[in-house]
Homo-oligomer: A and B are copies of this chain.
């Protein structure tokens, strides 16, 4: 059964509004705000998407998957385990700064959803490989665990959320300190 014309129009409008407000304010933006941006009432969103969770599922891919895939690709083109490892972490960290919504996804600070979890797990798996290679080459400290890596990303997420004031340049400079601390002692 196909949707009625107005309903189809609304679904698309809501999706686009959600992309906008989520990009601007993260995935926890009040639903009323999404509704207002879409020019519909809150009830319509709940009716069409079944709440925030469903709405996120509907936009998460367009919202961040693309960005993460880009990082992975960029890293994959690099040579050397250290460069690859650091470029990945650096890329993720910058993404977290640039896109509050992507940060929310990485932190899973929201209703877990299928596509979202898959995305995260995939990224973690990739990072795990990079870490392993870098440690095998002796360019990253051996006592850094995959859990530490996940944690470093979660940490950065918390930081980005709590300190949205710092300039990108400062943020980036400080990432350098954090990366440095992962080199062998």
Contact = CB atoms under 8 A, between A and B. Distances in A.
Interface of A: 107, 141, 143-144, 147-148, 151, 154-155, 157-159, 161-163, 166, 170, 173-174, 176-183, 185
28 contacts: A107-B162, A141-B177, A143-B173, A148-B174, A148-B177, A151-B163, A151-B170, A151-B174, A154-B162, A154-B163, A155-B159, A155-B162, A155-B163, A157-B162, A158-B158, A158-B161, A158-B162, A161-B162, A162-B162, A177-B178, A177-B181, A177-B182, A178-B178, A178-B181, A179-B181, A180-B181, A181-B181, A181-B182
Nearest to A181: B181
A176 B155 CA distance: 15
A159 B182 CA distance: 18
Nearest to A185: B180
A174 B173 CA distance: 20
Contacts of A174: 148, 151
Query: Sorted from nearest, which 9 A-B pairs have the closest CB atoms?
Result: A181-B181, A158-B162, A180-B181, A177-B181, A158-B158, A155-B159, A158-B159, A178-B181, A154-B163
A109 to B, nearest CB: 8
A131 to B, nearest CB: 13
Contacts of A180: 180-181, 183, 185
